[in-house]
Structure 1
Amino acid sequence: MSVQISAADVNKLRQQTGAGMMDCKKALIEANGDFEAAVDYLRKKGAKVAASRQDRESNEGVVIAKATADGKRGVVVELNCETDFVAKNADFIALANKFTDLAIENNPASLEDLLALQIDGQSVSEIIIENTGKIGEKIGISKYETVTGERVISYIHGNYRLGVLVALNQDIAGLEEAGKDVAMQIAAMNPVALDKADVDTRTIEREMEIAKDQIRAEGKPEEMVEKIAAGKLNKFYKDNTLLNQEFVKDSSKDVRKFLNDTAKDLTVIAFKRVQLGS
C-alpha cells in the first residue's frame, strides 16, 4: 500500500532541502514518507547530477575576496557554475560567501583542504554536490588564493567577476583608501609580477626573443640588437610589474612612489588577482 504524500509534506521537504517541488514529491514517494530517507534520496540524486555534468563547461560564477577582521590575512575564492542566470542568483552568491567565510575562519592550506572543511556536519565537497543537484548545473570551486601582510586590503570588481587582495608591509591609520587604489590598479592593469625581480625567467626570455625578432625585422644592425632589446625589456617591466607601473590615478608617478608618498617606505609585499574564468 502506497503512502499518501501531502502538499504540506512536499513543501516541508522543499523548505528543508531547497530542491524542486516535483523532486521532493518523488523523493518522499520513493522513501515511503520517511523524511530522512527522502533527504538521502535527494542527496544521492544530486551526486548523480554532479557526475553526469562533469563534461559541462562551468565558466560563469562569482569571485569573492575578503580580509580577516584583524586585516592580517586575505582570501579569494572563485565558485563556478554554467550560466550567468545562476551566477546572479542571491543564493548562489550567498553560498560563495559562506565558503569564503569558512576559509577566513579556518585558514586552509590548499583548495583540497578547503573542500574538506565542514559546515554543519557536511564537507564543502558534499555541499557542492548537493547544490549541483538542487541547481541542476555543474558547480565547483576552481580557485582559492590567500595572502598575509601587516595590512591586507580586499577588493571585488565588476559584479563579482574579479577579486583582488593587496598585502602591505605596514598597518597604520589611513591605509584603506591607498590599498583600494592599488587594488583597483591591479584589477585594471593586470600586472604579471610585483617587481622586476619577481618576473619568472621564462617570461623574460620570451620577451627578449620577441624584442630581438622585432628589431631584426626592422633591419637594425646585429650589434645594436642586444642594447635595443634591453630597452624594450625595461619598458615591459614598466608596463607589467606593479610597483613600476604608471599609477592610474596620477600618471606623474609610479605605484612605488604613490605608496611612499602615502607613508614613508610603504609598499606592497604580495598581491593576488583572480578573474572569473581565466
Structure 2
Amino acid sequence: MSIKISAQYVKELRNKTGAGMMDCKKALQDSEGDINIAIESLRKKGLASADKKSARVAAEGIIESYIHAGSRIGVLVELNCETDFVARRLEFQELAKNIAMQIAACQIVEYVSIEDIPQNVIISETNIESGREDLINKQQEIKDKIVTGRVEKRLKELTLMNQAFIKNQDISIEELIKQHITLMGENIKIRRFKRFLLGEGLEKKIDDFQADVAKILNK
C-alpha cells in the first residue's frame, strides 16, 4: 500500500524539480517519502524541470510526415520548439517521426490534448454515458461519479498526449515530450496533426473499411 503524501510535500518537490504534480506525488510514493530519491527518479525519467519550460513560446520546429507500408495511411504533424537550432537536432527530428508513427497507429485519437476537445463533444460524451442502461437504478451521487469517470476515460482515449508510447508502453506521449524538453532545454509542443486514410469519405461499407485499416496496421 502506498504511503500518504501531503500536498505541501508534493509542492516542495515540484518547486525543486518543475515536474508535474502527479509525477511528483508518484515519485514520493515510490520513494516512500524520500525527497532526494524522488528527485533522482524524476531526473532519470526526464521529468524534472520540464514543466518550467512549458509556458515558453515555441514557434520554430518542423512538419513531419509518416506514410505507413502500402501507402494507404499517412500522417502530417507539426512539432514546435523554441529555436531553429533545436529543430535541426536529430533527437528532435526523431521525436517528430515517432509522434507521426504514433498518430498513424492510434486511429481513435482526434485531438492533441483534452484542452483541445470542443465543449460540445464533452457534452455529447456526458449525455451518452448518462443514458447508459446500467446506471438507471443508481443513486444520483453514485451515477454522477461513474459518469465523470467514464467521460474522463473517453476523453483520454481521444487525445494523443494520453496515449501510451508505442515504442515504450511504460510512458505516455506527454511524458515522452517532457523527457525531450529536459534533454534539449526548450519547450516542445505538438501543435496539430492530420491523418489521411486512403478512401476515407468515399462510399464503402463501414465494416470493410475498418477491416482494411486493421489489416494495414498489422502488416
- Is the partner of 1:186 in helix, strand or coil? helix
Normalising by structure 2, we get a TM-score of 0.54
Q: What is the letter of the counterpart of residue 194 of structure 2?
A: K
Per-residue CA shift, 1:7-42, capped at 9, x if unaligned?
A: xxxxxxxxxxxxxxxxxxxxxxxxxxxxxxxxxxxx
Residue 240 of structure 1: aligned partner: 158
1:157 positional shift: 1.2
Residue pair 2:135, 2:143 contacting (<8 A) in 1 also: no
1:172 positional shift: 4.2
Residue pair 1:247, 1:253 contacting (<8 A) in 2 also: yes
1:155 positional shift: 0.8
Number of residue-to-residue matches in the alignment: 131
1:157-172 aligned within 5 A: 157-170=68-81, 171-172=87-88
Quick check: which has more Rg, 1 or 2? Answer: 1
Residue pair 1:163, 1:275 contacting (<8 A) in 2 also: yes
Distance 1:194 1:158, change over 3 A: same
Per-residue CA shift, 1:176-207, capped at 9, x if unaligned?
A: 22111111110111311111121122321221
- Is the partner of 1:159 in helix, strand or coil? coil
- Name which of 204, 223, 234 aligns with 2:122: 204
- The reply to whether residue 187 of structure 1 matches residue 109 of structure 2 is no
Residue 173 of structure 1: aligned partner: 89
Q: What is the letter of the counterpart of residue 243 of structure 1?
A: M
RMSD: 2.0
Residue pair 2:80, 2:188 contacting (<8 A) in 1 also: yes
- Name which of 130, 137, 147 aligns with 1:229: 147
- The reply to whether residue 272 of structure 1 matches residue 194 of structure 2 is yes
Q: What is the letter of the counterpart of residue 158 of structure 1?
A: A
Q: Distance in 1 between matches of 2:79 and 2:161?
A: 12
**Consecutive unaligned residues in structure 1, runs of 5 or more:** 1-147
Q: Distance in 2 between matches of 1:252 and 1:261?
A: 13
Identity %: 31
Per-residue CA shift, 1:100-138, capped at 9, x if unaligned?
A: xxxxxxxxxxxxxxxxxxxxxxxxxxxxxxxxxxxxxxx
Q: Distance in 2 between matches of 1:215 and 1:239?
A: 22
Normalising by structure 1, we get a TM-score of 0.43
* Bigger RCO of structures 1 and 2 (CA < 8 A, at least 6 apart): 2
- Is the partner of 1:263 in helix, strand or coil? helix
Q: Distance in 1 between matches of 2:180 and 2:138?
A: 44
Q: Distance in 1 between matches of 2:119 and 2:163?
A: 20
Residue pair 1:155, 1:183 contacting (<8 A) in 2 also: yes
Residue 151 of structure 1: aligned partner: 62
Q: What is the letter of the counterpart of residue 152 of structure 1?
A: I
**Consecutive unaligned residues in structure 2, runs of 5 or more:** 1-58, 82-86, 201-219
Distance 1:218 1:245, change over 3 A: farther
